[in-house]
A and B are shown apart, each in its own frame.
Chain A
Amino acid sequence: QSVLTQPPSVSVAPGQKVTISCSGGSSNIGNNYVSWYQQLPGAAPKLLIYDNNKRPSGISDRFSGSKSGTSATLGITGLQTGDEADYYCGTWDSSLSTYWVFGGGTKLTVL
């Protein structure tokens, strides 16, 4: 059970838009920056969004990130079959110990 809660799965039609939520608390998302990772089937994770809403070079502007309070959201527009992947949020947790936490992951299916 992760301290960051993501929906296990979402399904969306091609061309549509989807948002994936990541819910945490004051010791993690509420006080620290969030990053998002895309893991295509059989591949290593890849950085999609950092510092809540910034895209690394080479990442399409179809991907966006936002944060409000103790929740973060990943948005993807113009969905393509190639976007089918697992998506993970992550941030530092500063409760009893200081350590990095990932959300449980969300499997995106593009129908």
Chain B
Amino acid sequence: QVQLQESGPGLVKPSQTLSLTCTVSGGSISSGSYYWNWIRQPAGKGLEWIGRIYSSGSTNYNPSLKSRVTISVDTSKNHFSLKLSSVTAADTAVYYCARARGGYCSGGNCYSIWVIGSTYYYYMDVWGKGTTVTVSS
């Protein structure tokens, strides 16, 4: 059974870069048609999707964070990583990593490949427990 575990510094200074890693156990990050996601949740607030990466290295980011976010994958270490630059107190949150399945659907059939401009199916079926990151001097 696949499990995800987030790791990284719990405290980051303003204007610096937040760096987190999500280690995948119980399965290979490059097997199957899975997408690897980062999501965050400020205390008492809702979930915000940060972005995702496929094992090939293809990425998608939340437009509101795109200029500051980099997600990368290291298949040799079976983990993927998040870097968020120029952080402020507003970036203080619990950060989750999650595995997702997805693809496009057409003519009543769905396929586990991504075709731009299609009808998409996508869902996050395995989540890490989350790690709290505080931005403070």
Q: Are B63 and A94 in contact (CB under 8 A)?
A: no
Interface of B with A (CB < 8 Å)? Answer: 37, 39, 46-49, 51-52, 60-63, 96, 98, 105, 110, 116-117, 119-125, 127-130
List chain A residues, Cβ under 8 A from B49.
90, 99-102
- Size range of the chain A interface in the assembly: 20 to 34
The dominant DSSP class at the A interface is strand
Instruction: Tally A-B pairs: CB < 8 A.
Output: 81
Nearest to A33 among chain B residues (CB) is B121
* Chain A contacts for B105, CB-based, 8 A: 33
B88 → chain A, closest Cβ, in Å?
Answer: 19
* Residues of chain A with a CB closer than 8 A to B52's CB: 100
Known: A33-B105, A98-B60. A45 touches B47 (CB 8 A): yes
Is the CB–CB distance between A96 and B119 below 8 Å?
no
A68 at the interface (CB under 8 A from B): no
What B residues does A94 contact at CB under 8 A?
117, 120
